[in-house]
């Protein structure tokens, strides 16, 4: 019995030494930054940890910090007193005020473009120059926060948007909005800490598990994995839209879900992600929300011109303007009453 116990101890010691050795090798030669509790996997963008803060809103991990003015690699990053990448909201009791709120992730926030190039600010510019508004004060407020999911956006609608008394809400949707796991830079940075996140070896195991699940459920396609109908990720989108639909119906506020296509690397060919657009359209309309699909709008442009860069697929200034013009057309086609009926 004593000999058996010694063997167990020796075996466990060997395993421990092997794990320590593997950890050292990974740390020195092949570091694993997946889910690391640092900004290391957010190359040259450590400012994001200062631009954002942990949120006190139940269920929301983080939010934009108010009154920030940072000089960053991407240019000035300024937020107002409400924690929005925008100017201060106009007084809600301003006579005739028309308020539109945009909610979303890095698309709405405007990663890679200047503040005045975001689709919310371009839309505001178009509306203020339009004779159809009849010189009424109008604002389009940008409540976008990089990394937010559909579940996060439903929380923003419930706990933040209504205090601005919007006449209409626009919610941007992109292909990773069903994501529940904190795998992106900001969501990971503000995620609850866990012991395994501090070791390269355990992060490697977690990364392998994630890849395995994506392969088994999505056939190696992350978008298909996130939109798999019976999985929690997609269910979170359905629940978020249902929640938003209930909240706005009580207040008689229209909502437009803006669907952004996956822009190809080179030329537009057979679009492989139409199923995603169909899924979103179905659940949005079922929840009483309107839909604006940008696919046909973007298809008219060279894909390279729609992206910030070859390595950054976020919409360029041209992409944001195309989105703003599409929204503008829809507003005066389907929502003209917002601009003709005084509060």
Residue 61 has pLDDT above 70, yes or no: yes
pLDDT at position 147:
92
| Residue bearing the bigger pLDDT, 20 or 113 | 113
Look at residue 321 and give its three-state secondary structure. Answer: helix
pLDDT at position 44:
46
pLDDT at position 223:
94
pLDDT at position 335:
94
Alpha carbon of residue 316 to chain centroid: 16
Q: How many C-alpha atoms does 291 have within 13 Å on its Cβ side? A: 19
Please compute the mean of the pLDDT values over residues 251-266 and round it to a whole number: 94
Please compute the mean of the pLDDT values over residues 92-114 and round it to a whole number: 93
**In terms of Cα–Cα distance, which of 109, 78, 93, 115 is closest to 164?**
93
Contacts of 330 (CB under 8 A, 6+ apart): 256, 292
Identify the residue whose tokens are 């910030």.
308
Residue 8 has pLDDT above 80, yes or no: no
Mind listing the pLDDT tens digit for each residue in 69-85? Answer: 888 776 788 999 999 99
**In terms of Cα–Cα distance, which of 78, 65, 61, 26 is closest to 185?**
61
Mean pLDDT score of the chain: 89
Residue 37 has pLDDT above 90, yes or no: no
Please compute the mean of the pLDDT values over residues 131-153 and round it to a whole number: 92
Contacts of 150 (CB under 8 A, 6+ apart): 173, 177, 178, 236, 237, 240, 241
| Single pTM value for the model | 0.91
pLDDT at position 339:
84
- % of the chain residues with pLDDT over 90: 67
Please compute the mean of the pLDDT values over residues 312-326 and round it to a whole number: 95
Residue 40 has pLDDT above 70, yes or no: no
Residue 24 has pLDDT above 50, yes or no: yes
Query: For 99-231, where are the alpha helices, taking DSSP H only?
Result: 106-109, 119-128, 150-159, 185-189, 200-218, 222-226
Structural contact between residues 58 and 218, judged by C-beta atoms closer than 8 angstroms = no
């Amino acid at each position: 019995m004593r000999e058996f116990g010694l063997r167990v101890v020796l075996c466990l010691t060997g395993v421990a030494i092997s794990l320590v050795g593997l950890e050292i090798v990974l740390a020195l030669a092949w570091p694993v930054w997946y889910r690391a509790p640092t900004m290391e996997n957010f190359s040259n963008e450590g400012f994001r940890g200062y631009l954002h803060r942990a949120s006190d809103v139940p269920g929301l991990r983080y939010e934009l910090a108010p009154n920030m003015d940072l000089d960053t690699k991407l240019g000035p990053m300024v937020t107002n007193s409400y924690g929005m990448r925008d100017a201060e909201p106009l007084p809600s009791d301003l006579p005739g005020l028309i308020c539109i709120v945009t909610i979303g992730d890095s698309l709405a926030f405007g990663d890679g473009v200047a503040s005045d190039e975001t689709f919310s600010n371009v839309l505001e510019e178009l509306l203020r120059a339009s004779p159809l508004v009849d010189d009424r004060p109008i604002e389009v407020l940008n409540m976008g926060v990089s990394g937010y999911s559909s579940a996060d956006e439903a929380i923003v609608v419930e706990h933040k948007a209504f205090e601005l008394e919007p006449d209409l809400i626009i919610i941007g949707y992109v292909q990773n909005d069903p994501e529940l796991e904190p795998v992106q830079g900001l969501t990971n940075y503000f995620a609850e800490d866990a012991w395994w996140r501090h070791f390269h070896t355990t992060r490697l195991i977690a990364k392998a598990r994630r890849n395995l699940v994506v392969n088994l459920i999505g056939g190696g396609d992350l978008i298909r994995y996130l939109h798999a109908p019976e999985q929690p990720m997609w269910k979170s989108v359905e629940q978020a839209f249902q929640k938003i639909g209930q909240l706005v119906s009580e207040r008689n506020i229209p909502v437009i879900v803006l669907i952004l296509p996956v822009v190809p690397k080179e030329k537009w060919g057979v679009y492989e992600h139409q199923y995603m657009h169909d899924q979103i359209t179905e659940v949005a309309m079922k929840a009483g929300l309107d839909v604006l699909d940008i696919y046909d709008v973007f298809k008219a442009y060279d894909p390279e011109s729609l992206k910030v860069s070859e390595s950054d697929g976020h919409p360029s200034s041209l992409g944001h303007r195309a989105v703003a013009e599409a929204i503008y057309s829809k507003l005066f086609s389907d929502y003209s009453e917002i601009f003709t009926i005084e509060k």
